[in-house]
Structure 1
Amino acid sequence: MRFDIKRLVAAAAAALAVSGASAADPFPTKPVTLFTAFAPGSGPDAVLRLVADKLGRTWNQRVIVENRPGGGGFIAIDAARRAAPDGYTLLQLDSEHLAALPHLYKSRGFQTLQTFEPVAALFRTPFMVAVATTSPWKSMRDLIAAAKSEPGKITYGSWGVGSPGHLGAEQLEMASSIDMQHVPYREVSQLYTSVGAGDVAWSFASIPSSQGAYKAGKLRYIAVAAPRRIPQMPDVPTVSEAGGPAGLDVNSFVVLVAPRGIPAATRDRINADVQKALAEPDVRARFDTFAFETLTWAAPEIERQAEAKSRTYAELVRRKNISLE
């Protein structure tokens, strides 16, 4: 049998060209699923759906949002962790899922950023200090004075052990040398109803989660736990301005992560397209409504910010022996 070397070389070149074209197929070529640890209708969920719509238009593919709330974030984490690291499965988590879970569930030996890697940052939210409109407290000075006069008796609510509302209050305790009583709630709506009714004395609150009770005249914001006042509430002082500890900054940031091993080119493509979506005027307007600060962090900066929070949370968890096990 005679071999035609020229034909053989041409066939091999064609096969390599097809293989190369397949490998270079632009992301995405099929629908993308975004799992989220947040409940439908929450601020992070609303933002994610808006961004998903923008990404779907950019990619000309369906971008599906799947809510998996509960279980301290592990329900959503388990839904995404076994997916292929190809960018077609992403997961929305907050900084507490990244930085607090390893300290709250020590026996599991789970390190969020060893299983997942950051892909794109979405936003950061500040937290207000909310009291009932009937509360006698007009400032942080009043709140701290009350806590010092009755150690361990002043109550504060949060949306769960290890939440920003809980850990932020622990930060306030440590910075002010006070001791208060934590009351965790399962439902955010129930929490702010209870604060408004005086069942618990105060709580940290994001604007989207507490705006119903605030607009109904049940809540008053006495401070924002941020370095500066926020444009949405310009008359509300910072904690420091209101007589609280200087520099108290209670916030949470929300990001998209992927199973470890996602190709750098795919990660960078998703990051760039998310940033493009966040720059759209209607997205910016929605963020402003929620007092969400748009973030433009690349993956290394997300990891750096998460590590900084992890150090803070490790200290707070050790101080009170906080655990979810």
Structure 2
Amino acid sequence: MLRTIRAIAGIAMALSVVGHAQADTYPSKPIQMIVPQAPGGTNDIVARLVAADLSQRLGQQVVVENRPGAGGNIGTQTAARSAPDGYTLLMTISSTQAINPSLYRSIPFDPIKDFEPIAPVATVPNVLVVNPAFPAKSMSELIAMAKAKPDYYRFASAGNGTLNHLLGEMLNSMAAIKLEHVPYKGVAPALNDVLGNQVPMAFASLPSVLAHIKAGKVRALGVSSAKRSPFAPDIPAISETVPGYSGDLWVGLFAVRGTPKDVTQKLAATMQTALGDKTLRDKLAAQGAEVLTGTPQQFSTMLRGDIDKWAKIVKQSGAQVD
């Protein structure tokens, strides 16, 4: 009996040593950070800033890999099926992780069971922009035009199931209008067609379109946040015309479920330090992204709350993606 107890204690001590060794040696090779959206969007912009910062702090290259498609489901599925060793991370957005579960009839991952929350990173509003040639110069003018010609005007988004898409459906529902949705494979191609006037308008995250707004290449009608963004205070909130309208985007970092606890703790601590650094905060602010900090537990609670919140909004809007 005594030998058995000693053996169990020895095994436990060995496992503890292994766990600490993992944290001490991690990372010993480059880390892949999967971004399930196309280059040029908010998640891609934020991910590359964070990856560059983490590369210096962790002493290993953090490489961003874009895996766009199906509203973020393809890249997220790839991450979920990766080895739970801390060498594959997922930098994703709320539309994929919190909205897709209710928007899609089926998704190839579980946002809760397949991932370990590491840290919320940033929050940004979306903005409805139009080509400068488009007649409407305000939300009220757009709504009046859309009511006069239902199903005539089109809006572009980063794809079916994205927040850009759902924000348009919310606007249709809350303003009692009918804008036709045109999905693209990412925000960059959607904006390209707005710039070229192939489609008159698009919902896009503020970081992905801010430079175009400043250059006068597109005109901003309203931001999706409940109040005006501190990074673009001259742009009205859509809620100023459509009371109650609100929907921000958040970006967050996840590891694969089953990743050793010491590794996830090291990643979480490193992220807390990085996001508290003025250098990274200023770089994110320059892109219109406001830092969003929190523990893994707080991030998990936020995710669960958003899944419930968006499920109700999706149901109310009647949006559904096969």
Taking structure 2 as the reference length, what is the TM-score of the superposition? 0.84
Indicate how the Cα distance of structure 1 residues 247 and 272 shifts in structure 2: closer, same or farther if over 3 A, else same: farther
User: Which residue matches 2:171?
Assistant: 172
Q: In 1, Cα distance between the equivalents of 2:235 and 2:107? A: 41
Determine what percentage of the aligned residue pairs are the same residue.
34
Which position in structure 1 is the counterpart of 2:20? 24
Q: How does 1:156-235 map to 2 (within 5 A)?
A: 156-211=155-210, 213-235=212-234
Aligned pairs for 1:54-203 (under 5 A) are 54-108=53-107, 110-203=109-202
2:231/2:288 contact within 8 Å kept: yes
CA distance in 2, matches of 1:92, 1:71: 16
State the alpha-carbon separation in 1 of the partners of residues 205 and 81 from structure 2. 32
1:296 and 2:279 matched: no
Distance 1:219 1:269, change over 3 A: same
Structure 1: segments with no counterpart, 5+ residues: 1-12
SS of aligned partner of 2:239: coil
Q: Which residue does the alignment assign to 1:286?
A: 283
SS at match of 2:119: strand
| Compared CA separation, residues 128 and 23, structure 1 to 2 (3 A) | closer
User: What is the rounded CA distance, in whole Å, between the counterparts of 2:298 and 2:15 in structure 1?
Assistant: 35
Partner of 2:5: none
Determine whether 1:309 maps to 2:306. yes
- Change in 2 beyond 3 A, CA 1:123/1:143: same
**8 Å CA contact retained: 1:116, 1:259:** yes
Distance 1:246 1:187 in 2: 29
Please say if residues 40 and 187 of structure 2, whose CA atoms lie closer than 8 Å, have aligned partners that are also in contact.
Answer: no
Query: Per the alignment, do residues 60 and 247 of structure 1 end up closer, same or farther by CA in structure 2, a change over 3 Å counting?
Result: same
C-alpha distance in structure 2 between counterparts of 1:49 and 1:254, whole Å: 12
What CA distance in whole angstroms lies between the structure 2 residues aligned with 1:299 and 1:159?
A: 28
Whole-angstrom distance in 2 between the partners of 1:162 and 1:239? 21
Structure 1 residues 30 and 292, CA gap change in structure 2 (3 angstroms): same
Moved over 6 A (4+): 13-19
Give the TM-score taking structure 1 as reference length: 0.83
Q: 2 CA distance for matches of 1:78 and 1:281?
A: 34
Contact 1:170 1:316 in 2 (8 A): no
Task: Tell me the equivalent position of 1:7.
Answer: none
1:102-136 CA-partner distances (Å, limit 9, x unpaired) = 23432457422221121111111111121222333
Decide which moves more: 81-90 or 281-290. Answer: 81-90
Q: Given the alignment of the two structures, is residue 275 of structure 1 paired with residue 279 of structure 2, yes or no?
A: no
Is 1:249 the counterpart of 2:271? The answer is no
Question: Which ranges in structure 2 are unaligned for 5 or more consecutive residues?
Answer: 1-8
The aligned residue for residue 3 of structure 1 is none
Q: CA deviation at 1:22?
A: 3.4
RMSD: 2.9
- Residues 280 and 159 of structure 1: CA distance in aligned 2, closer, same or farther (over 3 Å): same
Offset, 1:192: 2.3
**In the TM superposition, what whole-angstrom CA distance separates every residue of 1:56-105 from its partner, at most 9, and x where no partner exists?**
33223333333322243233223322334343321111111112222343
Cα deviations across residues 256-310 of structure 1 (Å, max 9, x unaligned)?
Answer: 1122233444323211211211222331222112110111122233233333333
1:210 is aligned with what amino acid?
V
